[in-house]
C-alpha cells in the first residue's frame, strides 16, 4: 500500500476543510486536503444560497454578543456556549478576511449589505448574490488554498477509517476512487470536515456526499458524538414539478419578498387552523409550517405528491419579474409559470445541529483528531439560527486548522504495518474473501440506502413518537447486522461506483443508528426534536446527549451543558 506522510490531513474540501487547510499552512504545517469528490465542489458549501450571519454592524448597530445571545436563544438551552462564543466572536473577522481574499459580498462601497433573517434581532446577514453565496465563497477559498505550496490537494479520495494508537490519531486509510487502490496517510493530526448527514432522510437538500462520513469516522476512532437527535427540517422545500438547476430550498427568499400562500390539497389556506398566520406577508414560523403541512397530509388533505401547494398566482408577471427576473427565466426553462400554476412544497432535512463532540480548540477526546464545520456538534443546540452554517465553517475551520498545526513537532508513528493491519481489519470485518460468492441477488447498497432514507423520513423525521423510533432503531440494527454484510461489491477496479456506495452506506447506517438511539432517549420535545406522544419540554433534559461506541455497541449518556458568563455589550454601527 502506498503511504503519504504529512503533518495535517484534512478530510473534506468544503468551506470548513479549506479554511482549516489555509490556517494550518499559515501556522507552518504541511497539509493534505482530500475530498471524495472534487476540491471545493462536493459538499454543502457550493449549494449555500444566501445568508451568512456576522455582527459586522455595517448596516445597523450591532455587537457580536447580541449574535451570541440570538444563537443561544435559538438553541433552546442546549448550546455548548463556548463553541457559540467562538462562532459569534470570530465571524466578523472571517467575513472581512474573505473580503480581503476577494469575496464580493454585496455592498454599497465600503459598507457590506446585511439583511434581516429570522431569529436575528438586527440586519446581520451578508450575502454575495441571490442564490449565489456558496459558489462565490467556495471559489475564494479554493483560490486561497492554491496559493499555499504546503497544501497538497487530492480529489477523489474516500477516507475509509482513521488509525488510532493509544488514544491518539496517527493517520488514515483511504481509497483512491479513480484506480481502486488503497492508500495510507501518516499524519500528526487529522481534521474531519466532511459535512453533515441530511442525505439520510428521503426528502433532503443534501448533496450525494452528505451521508455522515465525518461522524462515522470519529465514532469508529473512539471519539464521541453529541445531540445527534437534532436535525433541522426546512418547511417548504421544493417537491414538484421536477425542477432542475436550482437548489430545493429556493422558495424562502420568494416568500420573504412576495409573501405567497400555502394551500392544502383542496386549495384552502390551512396555516390559520394551526394557530399561525399566512397571508400576504410571510409570518408563519418554520416549526409551525412544517407541522401544519405534515398534519394536512396525514388527514388526507396533502397535495398530490405529499406536501402543500405554494401559490404566487395572485401576482402578475411584471411583479414576479421585478422581484426575481433571472430566476423566473430558470423556472420557465423548467416549464414553470408561477402566474398560471402553484408548485408543491414539503418539509425537507436541511441541516444537522448534532455532531462530533469537541472542545473549544475543536479537538475530540482522541488526541490530534479535530473536527470543523457542520459535522461539529454543540454550537447550535436544539435549533440553528438562519445564517450560522457558513460562518461556522469559516471559524471552526480556522480554529481546527491552527490547533492541528501545533502538533507538527510531534513524531509520525504510523508504520506500514499499522496501515496494513487497519486495512485488513476493515476488509476482514466487512468484505468476504474474493473466492466467496455470497453477493445478495436482491439487495444493493443503493436500494438499502433508499430503504434507510424512507425509514428515517417516516419514523425519525419532523414528527416522531416513541413507537416509531423503536421500530426504526430495530430495523437499522437488523440492516447493519444482517443485510449490509450480504451486499459485497467487488474490489480493485477504477471508479468502482458500487464499492463507493457501499462504503458510504457503512457510514450512513452507523449515523442513522446514532440518531435513532439519541432521539429515543430524549423523552421530551425541544427545538427540532418533536415527539408527538411527549409534546412538552422537560427541564431534566436540559443537557447534552453523548453517543459513543463501546465494544461495538452504541451507548447513550448525558452531560451538563457548557454555559458561559457573558454580558450583552452596547451595539454600535461600524465606523467606515
Q: Which of 152, 367, 406, 480 binds other proteins (CB under 8 A)?
A: 152
The H helix count followed by the E strand count for the chain is 13, 19
> Which span sits near other proteins by CB under 8 A: 278-286, 333-341, 464-472, 538-546?
333-341
Q: Which of residues 364-383 bind other proteins (CB under 8 A)?
A: none
Residue 219 to residues 29, 66, 317, 399, 510: CA-CA distances in angstroms?
Answer: 26, 34, 52, 21, 9
Q: Which of 77, 195, 235, 248 binds other proteins (CB under 8 A)?
A: 248
Q: Does 135 bind other proteins (CB under 8 A)?
A: yes
Closest CA to 212 of 224, 201, 199: 199
Q: Does 545 bind other proteins (CB under 8 A)?
A: no
Q: Which of 269, 444, 451, 556 binds other proteins (CB under 8 A)?
A: 444
In the complex with other proteins, the residue whose CB is nearer, 72 or 175, is: 175
Q: Which helix (H) or strand (E) holds 175?
A: strand 168-176
Q: List helix spans (H) across 372-492.
A: 389-405, 416-430, 445-460, 466-478
Rounded Cα distance between 548 and 533, Å, is 27
Q: Does 243 bind other proteins (CB under 8 A)?
A: yes
Least separation in angstroms between CB 37 and other proteins? 5
Number of Cβ within 10 Å of residue 1's Cβ equals 13
> Which span sits near other proteins by CB under 8 A: 42-50, 105-113, 122-130, 363-371?
42-50
Task: Please tell me what DSSP assigns to residue 482.
Answer: I
Closest CA to 35 of 148, 215, 193, 187: 193
Closest CA to 380 of 256, 193, 226: 226
Q: Does 150 bind other proteins (CB under 8 A)?
A: no
In the complex with other proteins, the residue whose CB is nearer, 243 or 366, is: 243
Q: Which helix (H) or strand (E) holds 311?
A: strand 308-311
Say which residues have a Cβ less than 8 Å from residue 413's Cβ, sequence separation at least 6.
165, 170, 186
In the complex with other proteins, the residue whose CB is nearer, 208 or 563, is: 208
* Cis ω before 241 (30° cut-off from 0): yes
Least separation in angstroms between CB 122 and other proteins? 30
Q: Which of residues 379-408 bind other proteins (CB under 8 A)?
A: none
Q: Which of 147, 329, 425, 450 binds other proteins (CB under 8 A)?
A: 450
Q: Which of 10, 18, 22, 39 binds other proteins (CB under 8 A)?
A: 39
> Which span sits near other proteins by CB under 8 A: 19-27, 41-49, 369-377, 514-522?
41-49
Q: CB–CB of 106/113 below 8 Å? A: yes
Q: Residues 164-203: x/- map of binding to other proteins (CB under 8 A)?
A: ------------x-xx---x--------------------
In the complex with other proteins, the residue whose CB is nearer, 135 or 347, is: 135
Q: Which of 466, 498, 542, 562 binds other proteins (CB under 8 A)?
A: 498
Q: CB–CB of 175/503 below 8 Å? A: yes
Task: Please tell me what DSSP assigns to residue 121.
Answer: S
Q: Which helix (H) or strand (E) holds 186?
A: strand 181-192
Q: CB–CB of 552/545 below 8 Å? A: no
Residue 182, CB-side half-sphere exposure with 13 Å CA sphere: 19
C-alpha distance across the termini of the chain, in Å: 56
Q: Which of 61, 116, 154, 202 binds other proteins (CB under 8 A)?
A: 154
In the complex with other proteins, the residue whose CB is nearer, 341 or 572, is: 341
Least separation in angstroms between CB 181 and other proteins? 9
Q: Residues 290-309: x/- map of binding to other proteins (CB under 8 A)?
A: --------------x----x
Q: Does 335 bind other proteins (CB under 8 A)?
A: yes
Q: CB–CB of 30/210 below 8 Å? A: no
Q: Does 4 bind other proteins (CB under 8 A)?
A: yes
Least separation in angstroms between CB 338 and other proteins? 12
For residue 93, give the C-alpha cell: 473577522
Say which residues have a Cβ less than 8 Å from residue 444's Cβ, sequence separation at least 6.
487, 498, 501
Longest dimension (CA), the chain: 72
Pairing assessment for the beta strands 31-35 and 151-155 based on DSSP bridges: parallel
Residues in contact with other proteins, counted by CB under 8 A, come to a total of 55
In the complex with other proteins, the residue whose CB is nearer, 245 or 552, is: 245
Q: Does 155 bind other proteins (CB under 8 A)?
A: yes
Q: Does 329 bind other proteins (CB under 8 A)?
A: no
Q: Which residues pair with 63 in a beta bridge?
A: none
Grid look-up 457558513 returns: 390
Rounded Cα distance between 240 and 242, Å, is 5
Rounded Cα distance between 401 and 395, Å, is 10
In the complex with other proteins, the residue whose CB is nearer, 105 or 182, is: 182
Q: Which of 51, 74, 84, 207 binds other proteins (CB under 8 A)?
A: 207
- The dihedral through the CA atoms of 295, 299, 301, 306 has a sign that is positive
Q: Does 268 bind other proteins (CB under 8 A)?
A: no
DSSP-derived 3-state class of residue 82: helix
Rounded Cα distance between 41 and 405, Å, is 25
> Which span sits near other proteins by CB under 8 A: 225-233, 372-380, 489-497, 507-515?
489-497
Least separation in angstroms between CB 447 and other proteins? 7
In the complex with other proteins, the residue whose CB is nearer, 37 or 71, is: 37
Task: Please tell me what DSSP assigns to residue 572.
Answer: B
> Which span sits near other proteins by CB under 8 A: 107-115, 150-158, 275-283, 379-387?
150-158
Q: Residues 524-543: x/- map of binding to other proteins (CB under 8 A)?
A: --------------------
In the complex with other proteins, the residue whose CB is nearer, 264 or 544, is: 264
Least separation in angstroms between CB 501 and other proteins? 7
In the complex with other proteins, the residue whose CB is nearer, 132 or 415, is: 132
Residues that bind other proteins (CB under 8 A): 2, 4, 32, 37-39, 41-43, 46-47, 134-135, 146, 152-157, 176, 178-179, 183, 207-209, 241-248, 267, 304, 309, 334-335, 341-342, 444-447, 450, 489, 493-498, 501
Amino acid at each position: 500500500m502506498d503511504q503519504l506522510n504529512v503533518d495535517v490531513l484534512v478530510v473534506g474540501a468544503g468551506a470548513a476543510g479549506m479554511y482549516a487547510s489555509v490556517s494550518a499552512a499559515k501556522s507552518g504545517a504541511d497539509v493534505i486536503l482530500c475530498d471524495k469528490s472534487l476540491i471545493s465542489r462536493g459538499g454543502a458549501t457550493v449549494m449555500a444560497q444566501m445568508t451568512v450571519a456576522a455582527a459586522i454592524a455595517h448596516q445597523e448597530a450591532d455587537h457580536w454578543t447580541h449574535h451570541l445571545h440570538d444563537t443561544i436563544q435559538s438553541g433552546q438551552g442546549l448550546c455548548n456556549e463556548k463553541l457559540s462564543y467562538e462562532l459569534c466572536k470570530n465571524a466578523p473577522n472571517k467575513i472581512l478576511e474573505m473580503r480581503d481574499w476577494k469575496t464580493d459580498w454585496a455592498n454599497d462601497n465600503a459598507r457590506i449589505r446585511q439583511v434581516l433573517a429570522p431569529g436575528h434581532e438586527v440586519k446581520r446577514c451578508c450575502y454575495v448574490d441571490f442564490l449565489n453565496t456558496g459558489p462565490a465563497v467556495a471559489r475564494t477559498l479554493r483560490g486561497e488554498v492554491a496559493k499555499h505550496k504546503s497544501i497538497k490537494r487530492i480529489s477523489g479520495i474516500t477516507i475509509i477509517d482513521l488509525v488510532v494508537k493509544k488514544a491518539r490519531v496517527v493517520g488514515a486509510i483511504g481509497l483512491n476512487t479513480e484506480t481502486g487502490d488503497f492508500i495510507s496517510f501518516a499524519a500528526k493530526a487529522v481534521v474531519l470536515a466532511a459535512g453533515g448527514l441530511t442525505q439520510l432522510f428521503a426528502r433532503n437538500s443534501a448533496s450525494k456526499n452528505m451521508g455522515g462520513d465525518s461522524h462515522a469516522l470519529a465514532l469508529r476512532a473512539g471519539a464521541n458524538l453529541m445531540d445527534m437527535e437534532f436535525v433541522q427540517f426546512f418547511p417548504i422545500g421544493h417537491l414538484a414539478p421536477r425542477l432542475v438547476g436550482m437548489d430545493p430550498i429556493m422558495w424562502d427568499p420568494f416568500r420573504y419578498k412576495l409573501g405567497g400562500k400555502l394551500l392544502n390539497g383542496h386549495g384552502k389556506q390551512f396555516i390559520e387552523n394551526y394557530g399561525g398566520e399566512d397571508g400576504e406577508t410571510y409570518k408563519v414560523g418554520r416549526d409551525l409550517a412544517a407541522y401544519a403541512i405534515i398534519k394536512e397530509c396525514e388527514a388526507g388533505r396533502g397535495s398530490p405528491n405529499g406536501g402543500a401547494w405554494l401559490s404566487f398566482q395572485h401576482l402578475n408577471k411584471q411583479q414576479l419579474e421585478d422581484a426575481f427576473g433571472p430566476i423566473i427565466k430558470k423556472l420557465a426553462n423548467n416549464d414553470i409559470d408561477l402566474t398560471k400554476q402553484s408548485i408543491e412544497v414539503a418539509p425537507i432535512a436541511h441541516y444537522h445541529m448534532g455532531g462530533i463532540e469537541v472542545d473549544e480548540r475543536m479537538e475530540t477526546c482522541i488526541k490530534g483528531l479535530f473536527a470543523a464545520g457542520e459535522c461539529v456538534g454543540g454550537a447550535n443546540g436544539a435549533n440553528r439560527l438562519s445564517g450560522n452554517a457558513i460562518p461556522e465553517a469559516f471559524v471552526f475551520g480556522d480554529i481546527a486548522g491552527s490547533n492541528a498545526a501545533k502538533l507538527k513537532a510531534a513524531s509520525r508513528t504510523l508504520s506500514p504495518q499499522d496501515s496494513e493491519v487497519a486495512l485488513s481489519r476493515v476488509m476482514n470485518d466487512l468484505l468476504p474473501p474474493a473466492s466467496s460468492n455470497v453477493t445478495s441477488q436482491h439487495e444493493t447498497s443503493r436500494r438499502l440506502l433508499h430503504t434507510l432514507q424512507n425509514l428515517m423520513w417516516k419514523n425519525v423525521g419532523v414528527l416522531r413518537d416513541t413507537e416509531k423510533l423503536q421500530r426504526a432503531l430495530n430495523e437499522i440494527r437488523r440492516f447493519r447486522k444482517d443485510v449490509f454484510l450480504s451486499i459485497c461489491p467487488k474490489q480493485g477496479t477504477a471508479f468502482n461506483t458500487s464499492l463507493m456506495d457501499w462504503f458510504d452506506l457503512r457510514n450512513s447506517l452507523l449515523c442513522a443508528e446514532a440518531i435513532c438511539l439519541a432521539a429515543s432517549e430524549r423523552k421530551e420535545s425541544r427545538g427540532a426534536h418533536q415527539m408527538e406522544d411527549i409534546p412538552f419540554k422537560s427541564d431534566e433534559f436540559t443537557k447534552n446527549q453523548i453517543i459513543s461506541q463501546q465494544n461495538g455497541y452504541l451507548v447513550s449518556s448525558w452531560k451538563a451543558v457548557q454555559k458561559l458568563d457573558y454580558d450583552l455589550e452596547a451595539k454600535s454601527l461600524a465606523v467606515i
